[in-house]
């Protein structure tokens, strides 16, 4: 059974930083590629960033150069360092896991991910 637990969300002002964490519980956690998605009410979950089991990273265009995704396999944890946050970054952030390697073109496809966390809320005030 795979379980994902996010933490680190909060209310910040524009220009501030936050670091989200996602702890993965699984029999073989190092065999999973992981990703962050963001959702606002009434909208689909949109891809933010992914890190493969090999350590490759992919980003959506709207967070590139501001967000950094990483993973610490010793702690079974994925991180999202979010810098220079803007009001449009507001939303619920979900982590997701995919067993195996993820290609760049496949990473944004939320339907590939079978395991999801419950989300952590990020609110950025202007």
Rounded to whole angstroms, the Cα distance separating 38 from 95 reads 9
Q: Which long-range contacts does 77-81 make (Cβ < 8 Å, 24+ apart)?
A: 77/21, 77/22, 77/23, 77/24, 78/21, 78/22, 78/24, 78/34, 78/36, 78/51, 79/19, 79/20, 79/21, 79/22, 80/19, 80/20, 80/22, 80/36, 80/48, 80/49, 81/17, 81/19
Q: Which two tokens stand for residue 96?
A: 């997701």
- pLDDT band for 64, please (50, 70, 90 cuts): confident
Give the pLDDT score at 126. Answer: 86
- Over residues 14-59, the pLDDT tens digits come to 999 999 999 999 999 999 999 999 999 899 999 999 999 989 999 9
């Amino acid at each position: 059974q795979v379980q994902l637990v996010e933490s680190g969300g909060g209310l910040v002002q524009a220009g501030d930083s936050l670091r989200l964490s996602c702890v993965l519980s699984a029999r073989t956690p190092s065999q999973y590629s992981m990703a962050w998605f963001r959702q606002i009410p009434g909208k689909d979950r949109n891809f933010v960033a992914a890190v493969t089991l090999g350590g490759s990273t992919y980003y959506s265009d709207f967070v590139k150069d501001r967000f950094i995704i990483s993973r610490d396999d010793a702690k079974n944890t994925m991180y999202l360092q979010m810098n220079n946050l803007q009001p449009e970054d507001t939303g619920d952030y979900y982590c997701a896991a995919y067993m195996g390697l993820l290609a760049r073109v496949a990473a944004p496809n939320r339907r590939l991910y079978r395991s999801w966390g419950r989300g952590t809320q990020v609110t950025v005030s202007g």
